Amino acid sequence: MRLFVAVNFPARLRQKIARLCRPLEEAGIPGRWTEADQVHLTLKFIGEVPAADVEPISEALQQVAGSFRPFEMRFGPIGAFPSPRRPRVVWLGVEQTPELRFIKDDLERRLAELGIEREARPYQPHVTLGRAPREAEAGEFRRLEELSLIHISEPTRRNQSSR
């Protein structure tokens, strides 16, 4: 079973985030755009896990999620990995708050206790808006930097960290 841990947003916010893809599509920026029901903030990609290991992971996630109070999340501008000129992923930034950092650290520590390798790269919170096709030409993304100024200013409160 392929697992990842994510913050699942309320339906209204997922729809609002998914609507950010419209101006990108209308500008002709190529991509497979995220549907509202797939919008989330990934905290940890775990990967393939045997069915027998799911229950201990689920219990660990419940412990981590239950140890935090609701907190506010702020969204930033649109960006791209590795760059807006030649993206593989187009994303909506999420402000790195102390609460989010504590959840991520606790999650990594608790999962490491179960033998799941810690993430080596620094955590860069974001919501994936879309993925660029490999065959797309760099020139097709010219308007991405201009459109990257679009963002959501409405903060949201979250306390669930598993999906």
Q: Which of 107, 126, 141, 162 is an active site residue?
A: 126
d(CA 130, CA 136): 13
d(CA 151, CA 77): 5
Q: Which of 14, 40, 44, 104 is an active site residue?
A: 40
| Residue length of the chain | 163
CB 77 within 8 A of CB 148: yes
CB 108 within 8 A of CB 119: yes
| Pairing assessment for the beta strands 126-131 and 89-94 based on DSSP bridges | antiparallel
Establish whether 151 is a catalytic residue: no
Q: Can you say whether residue 144 is alpha, beta or left, with left for phi > 0 and alpha for psi between -120 and 50 degrees?
A: alpha
d(CA 157, CA 71): 5
Q: Which residues are catalytic?
A: 40, 126
